[in-house]
Structure 1
Amino acid sequence: MVVMVIDNAPAKLRGELTKWLMEVKPGVFVGQVSAMVRERLWNKVYENERFTGAVMLYSMNTEQGFAMEMCGDPKRRVVEINGLQLIGVRG
């Protein structure tokens, strides 16, 4: 399963994502896609300059059961501590 949350996603990006994922709320996309499709969609998000922040969570064989990636928001980042992914917030 893949979940993407995108702040201020432009209509073009939302349209691209809804070809593969369901938009359950504005800017929140959920679906089941292959790793290749997931990475291509994330690249589209990452290359887009008109949003303020994005996070992607996807199923992974880890202790937490998922992995995450973030981009765009300079105050938040993914931090790995002892094999766990956590969100680090800068002051």
Structure 2
Amino acid sequence: MPIMTVLATTAVPDHVRGALTRWMIEPTPGLYVGTLSARVREELWSVVTASIGTGAAVLLHPSPTEQGFTLHTAGERRRIPQDFDGLTLVAFRPDDDDDGDEAVANPF
């Protein structure tokens, strides 16, 4: 049964964008939306993950979870999905350029 699928990409090769636009629409650059079967979704995701290079991608689709969707990521991202008792929450990876100094609190 086809279901709504959303895929967001950043800096992926042109051939990946071409493969995605065969099955999905691209309403804004790097955002793809379509109604896909599970098999097509899995095949497209394998193409994206195999060709991601220095880019990044996020895939969202409905599933029978507490939140009602499943989140998949590929590539290097600052945001990292974490599973907490069946809920997917997003953690932030610390900046590499952080010098370790504590931030000065605003006195006002």
Decide: shared fold, TM above 0.5.
yes
User: Gaps (5+ residues) in structure 2?
Assistant: 95-108
TM-score (norm 2): 0.78
**RMSD of aligned C-alpha atoms?**
1.3
CA contact (8 A) 2:61 2:71 kept: yes
* Count of residue correspondences: 91
Give the C-alpha shift of residue 75 in structure 1.
2.8
Counterpart-to-counterpart distance in 1, 2:77 and 2:88: 17
Q: After superposition, what is the alpha-carbon deviation per residue over 1:29-77, rounded to whole angstroms, capped at 9, x for unaligned?
A: 0011011110110000001144421100001111111000001024332
The answer to whether the aligner puts 1:46 opposite 2:49 as a matched pair is: yes
Q: How many percent of aligned residue pairs carry the same amino acid?
A: 38
Which aligned segments of 4 or more residues in structure 1 are displaced greater than 6 angstroms?
none
Larger radius of gyration: 2
What does 1:1-91 correspond to in 2, within 5 Å? 1-91=4-94
What displacement does 1:82 show? 1.7
1:84 to partner: Cα distance = 0.5
Give the TM-score of the pair, scaled to structure 1. 0.91
Identify the residue that residue 104 of structure 2 maps to in structure 1: none
Structure 1 unmatched ranges of 5 or more: none
SS of equivalent residue, structure 2 residue 60: strand
